[in-house]
Amino acid sequence: MSTNFDIAQLRSSCATCSLRELCLPVGLNDQEVHLLGEVVSHKRKIRRGGYLYHTSTKFQTLYAIKSGFFKTCILEEDGRQQVTGFHMTGELLGLDAISGDLHTCDAIALENSEVCEIPFAKLEEISRTIPSLMRHFHRIMSREIVRDHSIMLLLGSMKAEERLASFLLNMSRRFAIRGYSETSFILRMTREEIGSYLGLKLETVSRAFSKLQHETLITVNNKHIQILDLDRLKLKMGNTSCLT
């Protein structure tokens, strides 16, 4: 029975996870990954539309997305709302909550999803003995800051079509990294959610889709997007670094 238990552990641990090279374990050796796996043993399933966490609830664990797709959004008292990000497999959720021990946004599943729970106190603890883990964790936080800066550039200086092109190229690249097609994919979010993320109204997003389609840069079939000319789409947005 001990054997069965070990196998189950192994199965669900970081060591054998297909996302090992995308997620927190990047750069760790086998022994280190094993240690990390013991900290990250617990998992959680979230149904489409369900909340992974709510704003203002206590923060104790980070979450790594094992499968599925999430959005995070902030909601102000006055009703103002904004999607701050869309999140795919291997990405970490909850980094914003470290600063105040409370979640500062809602995380909502856009399809049935599964996450790995990473108790933050334990992560800090073991990262003291695994320098490469600490370093990679710092890189992940820093990358989030860089991402946010490029979204600020987008929101501050791009027109609707440029924003949408930028968004599609970003999606394309992230799908490609995960082994999916970079030119044909299904968007999990609504036009309204895209608009909130890009600082546009849903009608403007819809119009921008139509415009890009008329210019034969993409094909739009509701949520199914096909990119017909990646290079020309990149030109659209002036060769900026497209939401790194």
Partner DNA sequence: CGCCTTTTTGATAGCCGTCAAATTTCGTGG
Partner DNA sequence: CCACGAAATTTGACGGCTATCAAAAAGGCG
Note the residues at the interface with DNA (CB under 7 A).
159-161, 190-192, 199-207, 209-210, 220-223
Nearer to a copy of itself, 58 or 80 (CB): 80
| Residue placing its CB nearer to DNA in the complex, 86 or 137 | 86
Q: How far is the CB of 87 from a copy of itself (least distance, A)?
A: 13
Of 11-19, 139-147, 185-193, 219-227, the segment contacting a copy of itself by CB under 8 A is 139-147
Q: Which DSSP state fits 102?
A: B
Q: List Cβ neighbours of 115 (8 Å cut-off, separation of 6 or more).
A: 43, 44, 46, 52, 63, 64, 65, 66, 68, 93
Candidate ranges 36-44, 99-107, 109-117, 217-225; the one touching a copy of itself (CB under 8 A):
99-107
Which 3 state secondary structure label does DSSP give 115? strand
| Minimum separation from the CB atom of position 81 to a copy of itself (A) | 8
By CB under 8 A, what part of segment 10-39 binds a copy of itself?
none
CA–CA separation, 192 and 183 (whole Å): 22
Residue from 84, 89, 113, 172 that binds a copy of itself (CB under 8 A)?
84
Q: Which ranges of 107-179 would DSSP assign to H, the alpha helix? A: 120-127, 131-157, 160-177
Q: What is the SS3 assignment for 201?
A: coil
Instruction: Output the smallest distance, CB 170 to a copy of itself, in A.
Output: 15
Q: Tokens for 157, please give them.
A: 């200086």
DSSP state of 30: H
- x/- letters, 201..230, toward a copy of itself (CB under 8 A): ------------------------------
Residue 104 site contact among DNA, a copy of itself, none (CB < 5 to 8 Å, cut-off depends on kind): a copy of itself
Separation of alpha carbons 185 and 205, rounded Å: 18
**CB closer to a copy of itself out of 146 and 186:** 146
- φ, ψ for residue 12 (rounded to 5)? -95, 5
d(Cα 207, Cα 195) in Å, to the nearest integer?
Answer: 11
